[in-house]
Amino acid sequence: MLEKYYRGESTEEEEKTLSGFFQNNNIPEGYEAEKVIFGYYSEAAEVPEPSPGFEASIMAGIDEADRIKKKKNFRKYILPYFSAAAGLLILTASYFFFVHKSATMDTFSDPKLAYAETMKILMEVSTKLNRGTRALEPVSKMNEQTIKSFDAINKSTNIIEKNFKSFDYLQKALELSIGPEK
């Protein structure tokens, strides 16, 4: 009956009989593995029946996967054509840009007038830059005061450290003259 079970030819009644036999503590030697297998089957809960819409949801999932695959295939085949079209568009635009490019014209025919106009523009830019840097002067003064404050704090800290060092020397001298404290 066990061989029939392993071949998948046993009936439900025969499987119940085998399960009942292996639940017994009186198992012949060499069948311990089967006892574990049938013990697991008897302890495991029964497999529930699928819900009413289970098959329809599986089919809908398969259809969705097919639709996504077709969409990816469409992109796979169409993308090279769009890439080629974009390349041709860039080449055409480059051609018109470089071939029909107009020569730059000088706006001033008199060099002295051009120089004067350039100086006027540079002076205006300089004035605006100076006005902008004047607005930052208070920040610069604050920075200077911060540096002075830190310098004063550092000087005070150095003086305190020197005084503590002299206390350390004094304490060591006292310990040597008096001896270790008890």
pLDDT in tens, 21-57: 888 778 888 888 888 887 777 666 566 677 888 888 8
Each residue's pLDDT tens digit, 70-111? 877 777 778 788 888 999 999 988 888 887 766 666 677 888
User: Apex CA 71: angle with CA 67 and CA 74, to 5°?
Assistant: 140
* Cα 54 to Cα 180: distance, rounded to the nearest angstrom: 89
| pTM of the predicted protein model | 0.26
Domain boundaries of the chain, sorted by first residue: 2-43, 111-178
Each residue's pLDDT tens digit, 133-179? 887 788 788 888 888 888 888 888 888 888 777 777 777 877 777 76
Q: What is the pLDDT of residue 122?
A: 93
Q: Dihedral sign, CA of 151, 154, 159, 162? A: negative
